[in-house]
Amino acid sequence: ARQFARNEIAPAAAHHDKTGEFPRAVLQNAHAAGLMNSHIPESCGGLGLGTLDGCLISEEIAWACTGIGTAMEANTLAQMPVIVAGTEAQKNRFLPRMAKNTLSAFCLSEPNVGCDAGGQETRCELSPCGNFYVLNGEKYWASGAGDPRCKVYIVMVRTGDDDAPKHQRHS
């Protein structure tokens, strides 16, 4: 991680800070070097590294550029809900795709509530025919979205009772 930060990220940091260009090539190289998707279990195609390992990688990357480090870590935002709370079927379906050289988007922030997970207004409801779900609402600042390699979107929504107090709703 230290070598990658010094050789790949530090030389590119000023360019990306100045232009705002997404660091696609840097992220591809980071993935090839095993510095992304580190928390995905080995059984799902990931590296299966622990929290301390992830912190050490993040610290070295942040030394070179916190912006590029944030772009790299955005994948973890999308992966963690699946790793921590996904069913085995969901883990087996999504985590192998997330472990590949793709990006994942974490869609939490909304215009009226920011990133307050308990205050989500976007709803998810089963369609009248019962074959699929319909999402209704708006998301802002979806970390990782917009890149053509972004193949998985984790969208935080409300499914519970509208009459429940804000932080007792099911999200």
pLDDT at 163 (0 to 100): 67
pLDDT for 117: 84
pLDDT in tens, 13-48: 999 999 999 898 999 999 999 999 889 999 999 999
Residue 9: pLDDT band with limits 50, 70, 90? very high
Per the rule left: phi > 0, alpha: psi between -120 and 50, beta: everything else, 82 is alpha
- Summarised one tens digit per residue, pLDDT across range 41-79 is 999 999 999 989 999 999 999 999 999 999 888 888 889
Share of the chain above pLDDT 90, in %: 52
The Cα 125–Cα 107 span in angstroms is: 17
What pLDDT is stored for residue 139 in this prediction? 92
pLDDT at 168 over 70: no
Count CB-CB contacts under 10 A for residue 145: 16
